[in-house]
Amino acid sequence: MTTLNLSFFHDSFFRLLVTITFFLAASLLPFAGLFFLLFLPLVLYVLCYLADFGKTLIAFLASLCAVTVFLWALNAAAPVTALTAAGLAGMLMFWTVQKRFSVEKVVLLPSLLLVGAIAFYFIYGGVQLSITPWQLVEKHIQEAVEINIQFYSRLPLNNEEIQSITNSKPQMISLFTMIFPALCVLAAVFTVWINLLAAGRLLKSRGILPAQLSKLSEWSAPAWLVWVFIAAGGMSAVPMAPVRVSGVNLFLVASFIYFLQGLAIVSFFFQHRNISSFFRFLVYFLIAIQQMLMIAIAAVGFFNLWVDFRKYLRKDRTTD
């Protein structure tokens, strides 16, 4: 009997089950759970390589069922959609890579899955509350804005600044409600992109690096995107609300894609100049917290269509 128990605990499938269950449960933690949820696709993606796609899928579904039963018992089943979408996105990333899809499809398909899960949440939630999905979006944004205003009110600010923030509450709710579709797309694409980059580093240490992901620093946005960018800018100036809202959201998505291309150029520069990991982390951290740096990186990605910065970096490398 002891031998059977030991073999059970050393079984690879059991370890797989425990690992996935741990990350699913950790994703439910307050505050810290958001970090685990963000990198849940990475966990499933890497496990598909290290174990097996079929075993990983079965272990994920079994773990998800156990967590779902636990949440239903607590009458708190809302996070199940997020857990399901994040896990399936990781396995979809693996499947698209194994099928040798292009980088664009490897990022796009899991991103569409995540956006679809967000849409499902608001549609289903709206039906449950007998309101439209858009009204539910506005309700969540209003609650988030109010929480932030309460936070700022506790900071050592003068009364005029606090009153100014409070007075701007309707404008902030209106703005974030208007750009919510773009924010969903940006969050989904960023999640898949950052998971691919992080997973690439983990797998590279084990000698695993898919060909289409080995040169992400040389990735370029499609040339036709510039026309979407220009058209979206024009639509944003149209006084008709539906056209203007669509234009603003398209403009933000196109700008974000150019931002990713700008980051790829920055990564290319770091690699060709053998910049230390510490300095790279410092630069990426500054980009993440400084809006002006984000705009500058997006501008680099946009103008790369005409300048081709990486070509000049290659020339500088050959002349050194």
In a domain, 116, yes or no: no
% of the chain with per-residue pLDDT over 70: 93
Other Cβ atoms closer than 10 A to 90: 26
- Residue pLDDT, tens place only, 189-233: 999 998 988 888 788 777 787 776 777 788 889 989 999 999 999
Distance of alpha carbon 185 from alpha carbon 303, whole angstroms: 23
In a domain, 224, yes or no: yes
Q: Residue holding tokens 């990198």?
A: 39
In a domain, 65, yes or no: no
Query: Domain containing 268: what range?
Result: 217-320
Distance of alpha carbon 8 from alpha carbon 14, whole angstroms: 7
Under the banding of pLDDT at 50, 70 and 90, the label for residue 2 is very low
In a domain, 131, yes or no: no
Question: What pLDDT, on a 0 to 100 scale, did the predictor assign at position 9?
Answer: 37
In a domain, 103, yes or no: no
pLDDT value at 158 more than 80: no
Question: What pLDDT, on a 0 to 100 scale, did the predictor assign at position 26?
Answer: 92
Distance of alpha carbon 309 from alpha carbon 52, whole angstroms: 40
* pTM (2 d.p.): 0.86
pLDDT value at 268 more than 90: no
Distance of alpha carbon 182 from alpha carbon 178, whole angstroms: 9
**Tally of structural domains, the chain:** 1
In a domain, 227, yes or no: yes
Phi, psi of 158 (to 5 degrees): -75, 165
Cβ atoms of 235 and 243 within 8 Å: the answer is yes
Under the banding of pLDDT at 50, 70 and 90, the label for residue 318 is low
In a domain, 41, yes or no: no
In a domain, 85, yes or no: no
- Residue pLDDT, tens place only, 16-30: 999 999 999 999 888
Question: What pLDDT, on a 0 to 100 scale, did the predictor assign at position 11?
Answer: 55
Lowest mean pLDDT among 13-22, 56-65, 74-83: 74-83
Q: In sequence order, which residues have a C-beta less than 8 Å from that of residue 222 and are 6 or more positions away?
A: 104
Q: How far is CA 106 from the centre of its chain?
A: 13
